Amino acid sequence: MFRSSILVLAFLLLLSPIVAMAQEWPTKQPIKIVVPFTAGSATDITARTVFDQVGKQVGQTFVIENRGGAGTTLGSGAVAKADPDGYTLLVNSTSHVVVASTYAKLPFSVADDFVAVSGLADIPFVVTTPTRYKTLKDLIDAGKKPGSAILYGSAGAGSSGHLFMDLLSRTAGFPASHVPFRGTPEGMTELIAGRLDIYAAPAVNAISLTRDGKISSLAVSSRKRLPLMPDVLTLAEAGLPAAEYLFWVGAFAPAKTPKSIVDRLNREIVAALGVKEVAKKIIALGGVPMPMTPAEFDSFVRKQIVVNAEIAKASGYQPQ
């Protein structure tokens, strides 16, 4: 009996710092949100939009830290190694799961070193082309002509845009060559000039250029049409459901973050996504709010790791 009591007391002493930490959150200090992209990207704007509202709700300051580089792995790695106290979080996109299959050696485990908190936004890719293409069929027919040399661009080798465009060309049955760019602005410049045939553009980058008649937007990678691009077909509507690709933004915490903190964060994020002004800003990015419970988002992320690994393998992509 005495030995059992000692063991119970020892366990409670070990547990007490975690309990105290969870109880004091979020009053101790400002909360850092690491975004592994440059300021002004769709992921960055989504993070700022959502956590500005969350900050108002919990009475705490959320500070965005843009830490790009190495295909998002620098920023993600910093969060994976951070103290699991709720004061350092990660907001990443589909790139979070893509690197699990496109990097040979990661300094962290995508599946095991993070806790999924909630989805934030579904911001799909748009299949954009020069205006000489009017429909997806026009593009596919051109790609299937003997001797054709279709060039598609993305924001880097092994990026989610690269995987999506490879999936699209294979599903549609036309050969195409990849041209990597440093970022979307450079790729869109080449597209407008007509030197590139296709670019996988985040919706926010395609909306105004399409409206101004500078490019054609032939399809969206999501399951539903976008509110700000209602005339642009989904890939399923265009006859290519197997080419559908999800591009999303979500929030993560380091592994071992107390469940009470994760659950509180989730509730506040879901509430923020339900605020009309927040939803309007996400829609203006060409997306839709994507609230999920931690369990739902964790299941979603794990499935996305598998899906992207299958796409990378089918494309013959060699991890770097």
Q: Which domain holds residue 142?
A: 125-243
Question: Is the domain of 212 the same as that of 311?
Answer: no
Residue 204: band (very low, low, confident or very high) from pLDDT cuts 50, 70, 90: confident
Q: Produce one character per residue of 35-64: b if its CB has 16 or more CB atoms within 10 Å, e if not.
A: bbbeeebbbbbbbbbbbebbbeebebebeb
> Which two three-digit tokens encode residue 137?
């069929």
| Dihedral over Cα of 184, 119, 110, 258: its sign | positive
Per-residue pLDDT band for 205 (boundaries 50, 70, 90) equals confident
Q: What is the pLDDT of residues 111-157, one digit of tens each?
A: 999 999 999 999 999 999 999 999 999 999 999 999 899 999 998 88
User: Looking at the structure, do residues 296 and 210 belong to the same domain, yes or no?
Assistant: no
Longest Cα–Cα distance of the chain, Å, equals 84
Q: What percent of the chain has pLDDT over 90?
A: 75
Q: Using the 3D structure, point to which of 243, 266, 295 is the last residue of a domain.
A: 243
Question: Which of these three, 203, 220, 243, is where a domain ends?
Answer: 243
Does 130 reside within a domain? yes
> What's this model's pTM, rounded to 2 decimal places?
0.85
Tokens standing for 169? Answer: 């060309």
Say what the pLDDT of residue 21 is: 53
User: What mean pLDDT, rounded, does the chain reach?
Assistant: 91
Among 244, 131, 128, smallest CA distance to 184 is for 128
CA 220/CA 226 separation, integer angstroms: 8
pLDDT recorded at residue 16: 46
Measure CA 251 to chain center: 9
Q: What is the pLDDT of residues 261-289, one digit of tens each?
A: 999 999 999 999 999 999 999 999 888 99
Specify the CATH number for the domain of residue 59: 3.40.190.150
Euclidean distance between CA atoms 99 and 70, whole angstroms: 10
Q: Say yes or no to pLDDT of 192 above 60.
A: yes
Length of the chain: 320
The proportion of the chain whose per-residue pLDDT surpasses 70, expressed as a percent, equals: 93
Coil, strand or helix at 226: strand
163 and 114 both lie in a single domain = no
The DSSP H or E segment spanning 150 is strand 150-154
Question: Which of 243, 260, 290 is the last residue in one of the domains?
Answer: 243
Are 217 and 166 found together in one domain? yes
Verify that 212 and 134 share a domain, yes or no. Answer: yes
In this structure, are 60 and 76 located in the same domain?
yes
> How do residues 47-63 score in pLDDT, each as one tens digit?
999 999 999 999 999 99
Peptide bond between residue 26 and the one before it cis (omega within 30 degrees of 0): yes
Of 9-18, 108-117, 234-243, the range with the lowest mean pLDDT is 9-18
* Residue 310, domain member (yes or no): yes
Burial class (CB in 10 A: 0-12, 13-18, 19+), 3: exposed
3-state secondary structure of 142: helix
Identify the pLDDT of residue 251. 98
Rounded Cα–Cα distance for residues 104 and 182 (Å): 21
* pLDDT at 89 (0 to 100): 98
Q: How far is CA 108 from CA 86, 114, 156, 186, in A?
A: 19, 9, 21, 31
CA distance linking residue 196 with residue 133, whole number of Å: 12
CA–CA distance, 87 with 109 (Å, rounded to integer): 20
CA 58 to chain centre: 25
Q: How many domains would you assign to the chain?
A: 2
Which two three-digit tokens encode residue 131?
């205006």
- The DSSP code sequence of 64-93 is EEE---GGGHHHHHHHHTS-SSSSEEEEEE
